[in-house]
Amino acid sequence: MNAVRKVMPWPVQARDEARLALWTSAEIAAATGGTASAAFQVSGVEMDSRDVRPGDLFVALKGEAMDGHRFIDKAFAAGAAAAIVDRPVDWPHVLVKDTGAALEALAAASRERMAGTVIGVTGSVGKTGVKEAIFAALDRTSRGRTHRSIRSYNNHVGVPLSLSRMPARSDYGVFEMGMNHAAEISVLTAQARPHVAVITTIAPAHIENLGSEEAIADAKAEIFEGLQEGGTAIIPADSPHFQRLADAARAAKADIISFGRSEQADMRLVDAIPSANGGSLVTAKFAGRHLCFTVAEPGDHWVSNALCVMAAVHAAGGDLGAAGLALAEMGGLKGRGARHRIAAPGGQALLVDESYNANPASMRATLAGLGSTPAGRRIAVLGAMKELGDFGPAFHQQLAEPLSAADVDFAVLVGEEMAPLARELGKGATPPLGKSIAFAHCHGPGDAIAALEEFGLLGGDAVLVKGSNSVGLSRVVAHFTAKDA
């Protein structure tokens, strides 16, 4: 046998011949119906002058209180190569009638030229983490040709911006879609036109605007409206709204892959046990075979997320082995589970940063995660949950039970919406609490920092910081992690 094996050539695809530049001036003008002032190429698209990098196209968007044209000079000082504007400027530009409409037109052109597979992700809880995990899984085997929306760019501006940034060579695009009113996801899914539409879960986020969980389920199910022919819907089998979601998916003529613990789930959990790194060792059954993989992220909710990711990767034609490796290596995102070790008397304390978002379901999930974290003392810094309307007082008060179940020693409650919880904790060790929980009720993040400083962190403590983004608990995280920077 010849000991020298023939080197296999790297597979060549038609998309390899696509231009490396993201957009040319001619392409932008054709997509938007605008007029280019000069010939140019750009390597990125940005709408915030503070985030512009060399080579970017700056889109001067106009809002109710802000006009991006005011920041043209700053954008070019930061290295912008050109801009989309609605008035002539002294820099390379494409002149259009409406810069917002131009961004949407550029997004449509980007989606039209992309010949790969698009995955749309929505849900009340977990959509950003699931989006990132799907991206990591597909990027492993696509030679870096997987694109996704960054951060939480999931609204009427974020989705078209993310689409416009997608290279023509992309094999996969993964886009997060959010909403706080009915009919918003209908618009976003029509722009993304996904081949795979994912709903992570249904929970009472934004219930103030929608009125019921059933209405939330219907609003999330709008993502199926944009599914391409032969597309797949990924839905949570354990949700009480499963049938509602399944009916909406069938109405869109979608194939369905369900995930969860339920016997009816297609991607079904068989077993999950804690792993040495704080995550989980998961065994799932799918299409008659068993899948075994590690999930690095701690918490039972991430076991469910992992099943969702596996289902989506399969539907997109990805590699489940690569998905398992990606889940094993996932690190927490800033504001969404990032874990920090901070110096404290007697050793190090663990600080879990969940400061970006909060609703009743995610609060319970992360408190359960805190409860399963080995620690000398457990401390919860909880910010108000927004957009709950008349349901808010009850949902905040009901956090007493998961706080007790997590064996929390000290709770810092931030925001006036936390008053019902403070009153409940003030009753002391009465059912269902089981024990008294020391607490401080604070007006804002500055007071929360002071309360934690007075309490005094010790080595071996575990601290959860979680609240709606507008509460500003990222300041608490920044204060305590800056000490170790």
How high is the pLDDT of residue 20? 65
User: Under DSSP, is residue 191 helix (H, G, I), strand (E, B) or coil?
Assistant: helix
Q: Which CATH superfamily is domain 338-482 in?
A: Mur ligase, C-terminal domain (3.90.190.20)
How high is the pLDDT of residue 331? 81
Cα 116 to Cα 146: distance, rounded to the nearest angstrom: 9
pLDDT in tens, 397-408: 999 999 999 999
Residue with more model confidence, 311 or 7: 311
User: Under DSSP, is residue 421 helix (H, G, I), strand (E, B) or coil?
Assistant: helix
Average pLDDT on 22-28 reads 98
pLDDT in tens, 151-189: 879 999 999 999 999 999 999 999 999 998 999 999 999
pTM of the model: 0.85
User: Under DSSP, is residue 282 helix (H, G, I), strand (E, B) or coil?
Assistant: strand
The mean of the pLDDT values for the chain is 93
Q: At 204, is the pLDDT very low, low, confident or very high (cuts 50, 70, 90)?
A: confident
Q: Which CATH superfamily is domain 16-99 in?
A: MurE/MurF, N-terminal domain (3.40.1390.10)
Name which CATH class applies to 114-329. alpha beta
Output phi, psi for 282, to 5 deg.
-115, 135
* Cβ count near 373 (within 10 Å): 17
Average pLDDT on 1-8 reads 51
User: Under DSSP, is residue 173 helix (H, G, I), strand (E, B) or coil?
Assistant: strand
How high is the pLDDT of residue 434? 60
Pairing of strands 93-95, 35-36: antiparallel
6: pLDDT strictly greater than 90: no
Non-local CB neighbours of 119 within 8 Å, separated by 6+ positions: 134, 172, 173, 174, 175, 194, 195, 196, 197, 198, 312, 315, 316
33: pLDDT strictly greater than 60: yes
How high is the pLDDT of residue 314? 98
Could you state, in order of their start, the residue ranges of all structural domains in the chain? 16-99, 114-329, 338-482
332: pLDDT strictly greater than 90: no
pLDDT in tens, 266-289: 999 999 998 877 899 999 999 999
Q: At 208, is the pLDDT very low, low, confident or very high (cuts 50, 70, 90)?
A: confident
User: Under DSSP, is residue 110 helix (H, G, I), strand (E, B) or coil?
Assistant: helix
- The two structure tokens encoding residue 38: 């000069």
What's at 75, amino acid-wise? A
pLDDT in tens, 360-372: 988 998 999 999 8
